[in-house]
Structure 1
Amino acid sequence: MTAVMPAQNALAQTSKPKPIDPTTSVSAKPLDGSAKADNASVSITEVSPDAGFASRQKALNKRTEENDYRYGVAQHDCYSTFFVNHCLDKARDEMRGEQRKIRTEQLALDDEQRVQHAKERDRQTAIKRAQYEADAPQRAATEKSNETSFAEKQRQNELAAAQRNAEAPQRAANEAAYQRKQADYQKQLDEARARGAQDARDRDQKADRYAEKQRQAELHKAEVEARQKEAAAKQQQKALEAQQEQEHQQQLKQQQQQQSK
């Protein structure tokens, strides 16, 4: 008995619970009650095979959240018990057991979804194949119409090419006539420009000759007027000299008469 007491004291010291954080507020939910509720939800899901995948996935997600929540509460409560490690191991085992159940149901649900998706793909493929086969006559008619239209276009192109080839000599003759006409027009235009330039030069020369004649006429007029003025001046000078000579002769005559008296 004495030997057992130290062992119990040592176990009590090693298993002393950790202090609980007073700021932590966690409300515990009975593990058994939650498990029963989860089993009830699973049974409802199993009883209702027509339930959608979304509702079943939602139920599994909810069970996962509740399992994590219960494990967190159990961990918190274990630190207030005497055998903390044993309590934590038990809570962990219960949590993992529930995880395995949820995982098994999740895999089954995923398999059902894959099968359903495969069936839906097959159904859609069958619908498309049936639609393709149903549209085959219309496609054939459309292809035939396209071939006929293409052949008609080819025939029209060949006719147009033959028409162009037949009209090629006439087009060449028309082009040559047009080029000759253009050349004649250009020649006439060049000649008209040359005549215009020559006429302009002739007009300039006539204007220069007229200006020169006018200048010569002005010079001749000035020379005539100068000669007339000079002749008038000479005539006036001669008249003056004649008058002076006459007056001189009269004076001489008067002197002779006076001397003879």
Structure 2
Amino acid sequence: MMAKTAQILLALAFLAGCSSHLRAPADTPVIAAPASVAAADAALAQAARDRLALEAAYARSEAECYERFFVNRCLDQAKETRRQGLVVVRAIEVEMERYKRQAAVDERDRKVAQAEADYAAEEAARAAEPPPPPRAAPEPLPERAPGISLAERKARQDAKLKAIAERERAEAPKRAAKAAEFERKQQESARRQAEIAAKKAEKAKQAK
């Protein structure tokens, strides 16, 4: 009988200390945040191993309890030890998953902020570029050459002016498209900045 009692006590001791993470908590344990996503993944893997160890230890203790006189008391003690261990395991899992979700959100915000910064730098560099040289004015009418009448010189000048006007009209849609695209990017940038500010405000509100 003494030998069986000693075996049960050893099993319960193993169940209570089967992992460095598993300590009997008074209430919900406070789990420190990991240093990185890799550390969170490692903690989750350890928690899974701890859970298996708890169940295995409980199964051994349960089998030995049926050989004792006070079966129910022994089973209750084994269940309580397992419950306390599982509380710690679950707390670790919850904290690690929360950390990983927050890390994913922070990484997304970082990429958005970096994209905004790159866009702003590109626009600033573009604005700092020197303006294009002014268009050359139409050449003045040459002095009347022998054999060219005033009407012919006027027709040539009109043809040049017409060509310039047609070129201006042809390039007008491109200029308008560039201006519209710039305006769209400015509005999109403002919208994204507003979304980031709103998310940060919501996070700060939840943290309180």
Larger Rg: 1
Is the helix fraction higher in 1 or 2? 1
TM-score, length-normalised on structure 1? 0.37
TM-score, length-normalised on structure 2? 0.45
Larger RCO, structures 1/2 (Cα 8 Å, 6+ apart):
2
